[in-house]
Amino acid sequence: MECALVIGLGVSGLAASELLIRDGYEVAAIDQRSEDLVALPEVRRLIELGLRVRGMSDVDISQYDMLVVSPGVPPEHPLYKEACRRGIEIIGEAQLALCKARQPCIGITGTNGKTTVTLLATHILHCAGKKAKALGNVGTSLAAYFLAPDPEEIIVAELSSYQLETLHAPVVDTGIILNITPDHLDRYPSMSEYARAKCRMQLCMKAGGAFYVHAAVLRGYGDLLPREHLTTFGCDFDALFFADGHRVEKKEKTCTYLEYELPSSLRGKWSVHDCENALAAWLLVKPFGVSVDHFTRALATFNKPAHRIEHVANIRGVDYYDDSKGTNIDAVIKAVNAMQGQVILLAGGVDKGASYASWRASFSGKVKRIFAFGEAREKIAQETAAFCEVEIVDDLEQAVKKAAELSRDGECVLLSPGCSSFDMFHDYVHRGEEFKRYVRNIQNKG
């Protein structure tokens, strides 16, 4: 019997362990919380099925035929490095799961917009009468889904760079790289290495599958991509498929390829990003029999997921926006550009390695003050003080209170942290919900 070791017993690790047990593997698992995990009902159930929970000191990697890593496990993990040295097969939860797919799969990656495009593509397919399921970083984990898959559903998989590091099987029918901008530089030694992980999407394409890449990605990282096997898209005039919020044009003969109108919820000064998301979703779903009418009707009824430049309230003429999902430098720039009037920015959390100095061009004349909180507050202050007023605060609640005192009619208070949330919150959702609660408290006080 082959033996597999699973590192990480979160949602994806638990599901991966069960998949392996069903496939006849002898499965052991380790987790930094191993002493507490054995008391959890979901872990007890797997132990009854044969799972063995081990401590790091109890593991002899040479006894295993396969190492299965959860997305959060970096290549620097000691067992990961030892498995590489010994030539032991290393796969991720996404690889384990998607190799079982017998239905079509759409793959979506990029620094920003992945979740929105994943949910929009799924929504369009539903409007066209197709069965579809959003998986991966949004909703159900890939491994959990394949414990009871629906063979008639089209899989719409949001894939992170972490998942792509260990995904190399040709499992994707239509795939896309939405954008590549600085992020996760606390994990990757350089932007080139981060981009290389994103560009691994090309390794996941089935023969003849449609592979789309934003024109800016091709310009910046063309040396990592096979130019003859991809199609460019974007709001750039040099893209093969070009969108401007009213139509999609195909460069060949510059004929109008698709007429559409963005719904009011997606229009505004910041609509370039939304235009590109809409175009990306259209390109991904059109091979599945989706008509122009299906697409336009789906756009009109689509609501973006929460915590993405979400309007929370207007208090005494000041608009409050929750962009808690803005966890990297470029996402903050997009959010600031979306605002009308002067902006008071609330930023901070766990630093991800990129420089905040790149905010200079977008913030000049637009951002009135930054209130910096969390572990990254000192770095944010140091790198932005030369071009923007910045004040360090104790926490997000204090940032909201001070922003409310400083703001004036016609201005915006924007939570767009540019950092991950795990210093003070469970995740970006928790951070966004707390922000909304603080805003409501101000609103209730009149």
| Predicted TM-score of the model (pTM) | 0.88
- The percent helix, strand, coil of the chain (3-state, each to 5) is 40, 25, 35
Q: What is 3-94's CATH topology?
A: Rossmann fold (3.40.50)
The yes-or-no verdict on residue 133 having pLDDT over 90 is yes
The yes-or-no verdict on residue 268 having pLDDT over 50 is no
Evaluate the CA torsion angle 142, 145, 147, 149 in order and state its sign.
negative
99-301 carries CATH number 3.40.1190.10: yes
pLDDT digits (tens, 9 = 90+) for 88-100: 999 999 999 999 9
Q: Give the whole-angstrom CA distance, residue 209 versus residue 47.
A: 40
Every domain of the chain and the residues it spans = 3-94, 99-301, 310-444
The CB-side HSE value for 339 (13 A sphere, CA atoms) comes to: 32
Q: What is the arithmetic mean of pLDDT over 156-183?
A: 95
Mean pLDDT, the chain, whole residue set: 91
The CATH number of 310-444 is 3.90.190.20
pLDDT digits (tens, 9 = 90+) for 211-252: 999 999 999 999 999 877 899 999 887 888 887 766 676 765
Cβ pair 175, 204 in contact under 8 A: yes
Cβ pair 232, 241 in contact under 8 A: yes
The yes-or-no verdict on residue 148 having pLDDT over 50 is yes
Which of these, 144, 162, 168, 136, lies nearest to 77 by C-alpha position? 162
The yes-or-no verdict on residue 144 having pLDDT over 90 is yes
Q: What is the pLDDT of residue 271?
A: 57
pLDDT digits (tens, 9 = 90+) for 150-162: 999 999 999 999 9
The yes-or-no verdict on residue 267 having pLDDT over 50 is no
